[in-house]
């Protein structure tokens, strides 16, 4: 018998081709963000490649711009309030649907998830028209108010909350709560001390994800903002319709940074790839 | 009533109460307005009072008889179909790679995929403007390489919209396909190879048919997203191409033609649903034997 | 059908060696089992033969041809997977047809061979059903038919019975053996269940930690284990540690003197199978060890009695169920008995644990 055998190697050409392809596709998906961030540091005020130098002054420029700062703060407020309210009533609804099953729960589930299927622009317009009609009826402003926007954004946060929390609840091992009850905990104690804590990651993720969804939303907010109360994405968009320069790139980069960080935090709680 | 069923009834009541606040909000803020809009689409347009109550199909007739609006609709359809197809072609290999990879970088790759979805379409469109503009990266590169002398018009064309929209929906497509492919028992592919199928045949005869329903669902989702796109067509298409969502928004917000805009909205939603559902049904008919669910 | 030669097969994953220096000749028509605990390398070896894993070193010959560099789909080894791996989107008949289509068999001939294959496993009436409509046992039979229809050179089975319930396992195992013998298929059967391996193999290869411990006929492996691992893995063994004190004489560490035919100078341990031991009231000819009953388990066809030796070492005995006295009465805890066995029934092991 041969004492030493040469190990066999196979060269997989196809595998390398696939890797290059994957790299290119990722490049396509990510390059816009890379370029925006890169642009925000360009020295010249007019877009030109290659840049003559780099500077941080555009960020200061953006910071001094009232409309951007206001937009940022407004978006922040809107997102926080919408996320908090949406997650609160959304988690409760998910509990009601899955734990305390009732007749018609399936239809309610569809209703609560339905906003995800609507084109944002259509929903925004429909809500706008509805608000106008209600304004006449109630004799007070709704369009352009924070409250009006919050109500609309809650409809964005509820579906994601219900989805996330439902998925988590379905993934729970029922025998854990049963073990708690077997050891002497009554139904309510078992729920509050055992089951609910197990849902915590999903609830936190729902809150963070809802924040992101509300903050970056354009289409629904578009019809519902007013003078003095506009969101950051809308402010960016309106600027971009006329002008493309490092200032707007700086503002956009801030949004990218903020939402990117929150996304990373959310990923700690729930695997985002399963959600989306 | 026995104690047990009374308890059940109480449970059910509690459940309904818990779900009530959310349901109320969604119903009032989404369902009712949509129905209202539906109703408006059948009203008469009045230049002075914006709307006159009544019941007419004139808005719908106007849409389909005007060649401009028919053009808008078909342009939207063409762009959506193109983007969906491109997303499928580019996305499938990536999804396959992610499903099969054992690399410890896998979760990083997934995060990189989800990341663009989180930052908002406006910012992504801005990025494409930087890339495709006359002073943008692509033109700068081509001029520097000497391929062209003058910048070519890439921005504010249908091409830009296709590129931008495809880039926007690619992550959705990849994530959906990846989870479908991961769900396939790898041993089935090994069995096919063992029986004599090379990699290509295994893919074509075994992997693809099993993945088909999932692929259909992902494609449907992406198609709907493309049809409804707003920010990307506005920023990247400009006057070079008009699509349904920007057009109908303009009718309502700028032209104050609520009735016509409403009808456009309904046409968009219903047409999208019909096309997506029938494509889904077709694929299911062909591959329905695959899975029980 | 063909013979199989495994030549110094080795597989290393990073730092860990999954299979080290596995050499074996499998004759045409032979059924060889790879038996061992999880992680011993048996499945890895099987998958190297099938081509799913490239060996780090070594060669594989099928019918005299070196297939080591051949891709999976060109090796012509029919494999049956643990979880069946039937194509969910194809009917039973289409599943069986697949391999034949890959070989460009004509439609007419395909139909004939599908009929034949399904008939062999008695699944003909299910040929238009889908896998999800079949039970586990039925799916497994279809998987077997699918692998056999292509008339492979080697038949590979990767723990095919472990997902079936106990009764079904016996049935399918017998069917596999009957088929294999009837068709003269060279077969490699991977399992962790020793009863399965013992029941159907022409020869067995016991593996542990990537190394082959012993290869041979089932009865040879059982009666003449070459080392500790094999002795303990196949069935149970009562061990006595000690030293050789003369020809045929072995003194245990507790001071008992045993007559052992096979003892040599290097013997450090003597073993005897529980079924070769008798429990008697008084000492008779042969070796006698005073023991106390610890517990007994009535297992239907025999009683498994756990005993404590003179120094509290754990011993066991299997008493066949022919007694007229109820085992509960016969083996009450604490009862003193004598363990008796012949000098010729002992197996010896040296320092390293080799026989």
Q: What domains appear along chain C, each with residue ranges and CATH number?
A: 4-229 (3.40.50.300), 236-350 (2.40.50.100)
pLDDT at A268: 82
> B148 with B10, same domain?
no
In B, which residues are within 8 Å of C88 by CB distance?
188, 210, 290-291
Residue A143 phi, psi (nearest 5): -65, 135
pLDDT at A233: 93
Identify the CA nearest to A221 among candidates A205, A235, A210: A235
3-class DSSP state of B103 = coil
Across A115-124, A138-147, B111-120, B218-227, least confident range: A138-147
3-class DSSP state of B202 = helix
Q: Is residue B175 part of a domain?
A: yes
Distances (CA, A) of B26 to A77, A205, B29, B202: 21, 21, 5, 46
3-state DSSP percent of chain B in helix, strand and coil, to 5: 75, 0, 20
Identify the CA nearest to B289 among candidates C131, C102, C114, C141: C131
> B24 with B133, same domain?
no
How long a stretch of residues is chain A?
276
Check whether C145 has a pLDDT greater than 90. yes
User: What CATH code is carried by the domain that includes residue B253?
Assistant: 1.10.3720.10
Check whether A133 has a pLDDT greater than 60. yes
Give the chain B residue nearest C147 (alpha carbons). B195
> B179 with B86, same domain?
yes
> B187 with B255, same domain?
yes
Percent of chain C with pLDDT over 70: 97
Q: Is residue B54 part of a domain?
A: no
pLDDT at A8: 33
What is the model's pTM?
Answer: 0.80
Check whether B4 has a pLDDT greater than 70. no
Q: What are the sequence ranges of the domains in chain A?
A: 65-275
User: Mean pLDDT, chain B, as a whole number?
Assistant: 88
Q: How far is C67 from chain B (nearest CA, A)?
A: 14
pLDDT at B289: 54
Number of structural domains in chain B: 2
In A, which residues are within 8 Å of B269 by CB distance?
118-119, 122
Percent of chain B with pLDDT over 70: 95
Q: Do A5 and C69 touch (CB under 8 A)?
A: no
Q: What is the dihedral of CA C131, C135, C138, C144, to 10 degrees?
A: 60
3-class DSSP state of C110 = helix
Give the chain A residue nearest B182 (alpha carbons). A274
3-class DSSP state of C319 = strand
Q: Do A90 and B22 touch (CB under 8 A)?
A: yes
Q: How far is B287 from chain A (nearest CA, A)?
A: 25
Residue-wise DSSP of C273-309: -GGG-EEESS--SSEEEEEEEEEEEE-SSEEEEEEE-
Q: pLDDT category, C61, cuts 50, 70, 90? A: very high
pLDDT tens, residue by residue, B147-197: 888 888 899 999 999 999 999 999 999 998 998 898 888 899 999 999 999
3-state secondary structure string across C144-155:
HHHHHHCCCCEE
Distances (CA, A) of B281 to B176, B212, B216, B287: 18, 12, 9, 10
Residue C129 gets which letter from DSSP?
S
Check whether B292 has a pLDDT greater than 60. no
| Residue A207 exposure: Cα atoms within 13 Å on the Cβ side | 12
Report the Cα A215 to chain-centroid distance in Å. Answer: 7
> B18 with B70, same domain?
no
Residue identified by tokens 């070594």 is C58
Report the Cα C11 to chain-centroid distance in Å. Answer: 22
> B213 with B164, same domain?
yes
Check whether A188 has a pLDDT greater than 70. yes
Mean pLDDT, residues B116-144: 89
CA–CA gap between residue B84 and residue B74 (Å, rounded): 15
pLDDT at A93: 92
**Interface TM-score (ipTM) > 0.95:** no
Q: Is residue B139 part of a domain?
A: yes
> B251 with B116, same domain?
yes
On whether the CB atoms of residues A7 and C11 are closer than 8 A, the answer is no
pLDDT at A274: 67
Q: How far is A86 from chain B (nearest CA, A)?
A: 8
Report for A191-195, B218-222, C26-30: range of highest mean pLDDT? C26-30
Check whether A275 has a pLDDT greater than 80. no
Identify the CA nearest to C103 among candidates C118, C93, C113, C88: C113
pLDDT at A172: 83
pLDDT tens, residue by residue, A259-270: 999 988 888 887
Mean pLDDT, residues B130-137: 88
Whether C12 contacts chain A with CB within 8 A: no
CA–CA gap between residue C229 and residue A234 (Å, rounded): 74
Residue identified by tokens 């492979």 is C152
- Mention every residue, 6+ apart, whose C-beta is less than 8 A from residue B123: A32, A33, A36, A216, A233, A236, A252, A255, A256
> What residue numbers bound the domain in which B2 lies?
1-30
pLDDT tens, residue by residue, B218-274: 898 899 999 999 999 999 998 889 999 999 999 988 888 888 999 999 999 999 989
Distances (CA, A) of B269 to B264, C37, C260: 9, 60, 90
Residue C227 gets which letter from DSSP?
B
Check whether A49 has a pLDDT greater than 90. no
Mean pLDDT, residues B58-70: 90
Q: Do B191 and C85 touch (CB under 8 A)?
A: yes
3-class DSSP state of C6 = strand
Whether B169 contacts chain A with CB within 8 A: no
C positions 39-98 inside 8 Å of A (CB) = 54-59, 68-69
Of C216 and A136, the one with more pLDDT: C216
Q: Is residue B178 part of a domain?
A: yes
In B, which residues are within 8 Å of A33 by CB distance?
115-116, 119, 123-124, 127
Residue C5: its H or E element:
strand C4-13
Q: Is residue B56 part of a domain?
A: no
Q: pLDDT category, C353, cuts 50, 70, 90? A: low
Identify the CA nearest to C162 among candidates C81, C236, C47, C44: C81
Interface with chain C: mutation pick from B183, B195, B207, B208, highest number of C CBs within 10 Å: B195
In A, which residues are within 8 Å of C8 by CB distance?
1-2, 5
> B216 with B93, same domain?
yes
Q: Do C57 and A2 touch (CB under 8 A)?
A: no
Burial class (CB in 10 A: 0-12, 13-18, 19+), B243: buried
CA–CA gap between residue C49 and residue C30 (Å, rounded): 16
Check whether B290 has a pLDDT greater than 60. no
Distances (CA, A) of C90 to B160, B223, B290, C95: 43, 29, 7, 6
Write out the two tokens for C342: 């012949």
pLDDT at A1: 37
How long a stretch of residues is chain C?
355
Across A33-42, B7-16, C341-350, least confident range: B7-16
Check whether A6 has a pLDDT greater than 60. no
Residue C247 gets which letter from DSSP?
T
Q: How far is C57 from chain A (nearest CA, A)?
A: 5
Check whether B293 has a pLDDT greater than 50. no
Interface with chain A: mutation pick from C6, C8, C74, highest number of A CBs within 10 Å: C8
pLDDT at A45: 81
In B, which residues are within 8 Å of C52 by CB distance?
190, 193
> B23 with B105, same domain?
no
User: Mean pLDDT, chain A, as a whole number?
Assistant: 86
> B135 with B192, same domain?
yes
CATH fold, domain A65-275, is MetI-like fold (1.10.3720)
- Mention every residue, 6+ apart, whose C-beta is less than 8 A from residue C352: C227
On whether the CB atoms of residues B136 and A47 are closer than 8 A, the answer is yes
> B213 with B108, same domain?
yes
């Amino acid at each position: 018998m041969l004492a030493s055998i040469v190990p066999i190697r196979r060269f997989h050409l196809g595998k390398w081709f696939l890797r290059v392809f994957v790299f290119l596709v990722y490049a396509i998906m990510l390059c816009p963000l890379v370029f925006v961030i890169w642009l925000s540091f360009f020295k010249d005020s007019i877009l030109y490649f290659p840049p003559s130098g780099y500077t941080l002054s555009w960020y200061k420029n953006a910071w001094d711009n009232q409309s951007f700062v206001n937009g940022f703060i407004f978006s922040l407020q809107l997102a926080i309030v919408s996320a908090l309210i949406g997650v609160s009533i959304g988690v409760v609804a998910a509990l009601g649907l899955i734990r305390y099953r009732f007749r018609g729960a399936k239809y309610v589930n569809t209703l609560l998830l339905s906003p995800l299927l609507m084109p944002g622009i259509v929903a925004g317009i429909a809500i706008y028209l509805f608000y106008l009609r209600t304004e006449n009826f109630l004799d007070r402003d709704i369009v352009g108010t924070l409250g009006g926007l919050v109500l609309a954004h809650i409809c964005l946060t509820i579906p994601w909350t219900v989805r996330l929390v439902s998925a988590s609840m379905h993934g729970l091992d029922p025998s854990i709560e049963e073990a708690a009850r077997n050891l002497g905990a009554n139904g309510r104690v078992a729920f509050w001390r055992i089951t609910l804590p197990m849902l915590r990651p999903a609830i936190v993720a729902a809150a963070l994800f809802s924040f992101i969804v509300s903050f970056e939303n354009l289409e629904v907010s578009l019809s519902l903002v007013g003078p003095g109360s506009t969101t950051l994405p809308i402010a960016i968009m309106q600027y971009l319709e006329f002008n493309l320069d490092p200032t707007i790139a700086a503002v956009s980069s801030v949004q990218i940074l903020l939402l990117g960080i929150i996304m990373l935090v959310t990923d700690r709680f729930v695997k985002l790839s399963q959600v989306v | 009533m026995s104690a047990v069923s009374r308890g059940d009834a109480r449970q059910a009541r509690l459940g309904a109460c818990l779900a009530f606040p959310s349901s109320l909000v969604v119903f009032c803020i989404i369902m009712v307005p949509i129905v209202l809009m539906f109703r408006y689409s059948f009203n008469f347009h009045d230049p002075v009072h914006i709307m006159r109550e009544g019941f007419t199909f004139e808005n719908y007739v106007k849409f389909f008889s005007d060649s401009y609006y028919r053009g808008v609709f078909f342009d939207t359809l063409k762009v959506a179909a193109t983007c969906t197809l491109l997303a499928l072609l580019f996305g499938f290999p990536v999804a396959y790679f992610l499903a099969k990879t054992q690399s410890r970088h896998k979760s990083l790759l997934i995060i990189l995929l989800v990341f663009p979805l989180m930052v908002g379409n406006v910012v992504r469109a801005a990025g494409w403007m930087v890339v495709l503009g006359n002073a943008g990266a692509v033109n700068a590169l081509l001029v520097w390489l000497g391929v062209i002398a003058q910048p070519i018009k890439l921005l504010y064309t249908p091409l830009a919209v296709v590129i931008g929209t495809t880039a926007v929906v690619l992550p959705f497509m990849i994530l959906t396909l990846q989870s479908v492919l991961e769900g396939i028992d790898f041993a089935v592919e090994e069995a096919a190879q063992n029986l004599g199928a090379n990699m290509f045949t295994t893919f074509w005869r075994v992997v693809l048919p099993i993945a088909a329903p999932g692929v259909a669902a992902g494609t449907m989702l992406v198609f709907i997203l493309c049809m409804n796109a707003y920010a990307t067509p506005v920023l990247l298409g400009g006057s070079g191409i008009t699509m349904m969502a920007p057009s109908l928004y303009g009718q309502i917000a700028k032209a104050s033609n609520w009735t016509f805009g409403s009808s456009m909205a309904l046409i968009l939603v219903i047409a999208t649903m019909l096309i997506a559902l029938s494509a889904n049904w077709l694929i299911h008919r062909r591959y329905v034997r695959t899975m029980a669910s | 059908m063909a013979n199989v030669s495994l030549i110094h097969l080795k597989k290393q994953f990073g730092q860990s060696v999954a299979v080290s220096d596995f050499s074996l000749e499998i004759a045409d028509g032979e059924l060889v089992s790879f038996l061992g605990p999880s992680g011993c390398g048996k499945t890895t070896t099987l998958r190297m033969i099938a081509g799913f894993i490239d060996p780090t070193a070594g060669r594989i010959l099928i019918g005299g041809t070196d297939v080591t560099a051949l891709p999976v789909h060109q090796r012509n080894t029919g494999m049956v997977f643990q979880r069946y791996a039937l194509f969910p989107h194809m009917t039973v008949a289409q599943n069986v047809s697949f391999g034949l289509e890959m070989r460009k068999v004509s439609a007419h001939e395909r139909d004939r061979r599908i009929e034949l294959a399904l008939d062999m496993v008695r699944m003909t009436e299910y040929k238009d059903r889908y896998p999800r409509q079949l039970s586990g046992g039925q799916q497994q039979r279809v998987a077997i038919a699918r692998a056999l229809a292509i008339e492979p050179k080697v038949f590979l089975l990767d723990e095919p019975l472990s997902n079936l319930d106990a009764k079904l396992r016996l049935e399918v195992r017998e069917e596999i053996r009957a088929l294999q013998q009837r068709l003269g298929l060279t077969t490699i059967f991977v399992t962790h269940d020793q009863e399965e391996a013992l029941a159907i193999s022409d020869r067995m290869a016991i593996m542990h930690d990537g190394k082959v411990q012993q290869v041979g006929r089932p009865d040879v492996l059982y009666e003449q284990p070459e080392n500790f691992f094999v002795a303990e893995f196949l069935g149970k063994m009562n061990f006595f540690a000690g030293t050789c004190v003369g020809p045929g004489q072995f003194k245990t560490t507790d001071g008992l003197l045993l007559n052992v035919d096979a003892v040599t100078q290097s013997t450090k341990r003597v073993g005897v199978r529980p079924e070769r031991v008798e429990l008697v009231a008084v000492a008779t000819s042969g070796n006698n060890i005073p023991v106390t009953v610890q517990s007994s388990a009535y297992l239907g066809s025999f009683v498994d009695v756990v005993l404590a030796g003179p120094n509290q070492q754990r011993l066991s005995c299997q008493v066949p169920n022919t007694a007229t006295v109820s085992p509960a009465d016969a083996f009450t805890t604490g009862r003193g008995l004598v363990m008796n066995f012949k000098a010729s029934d002992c197996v010896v092991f040296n320092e390293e644990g080799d026989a």
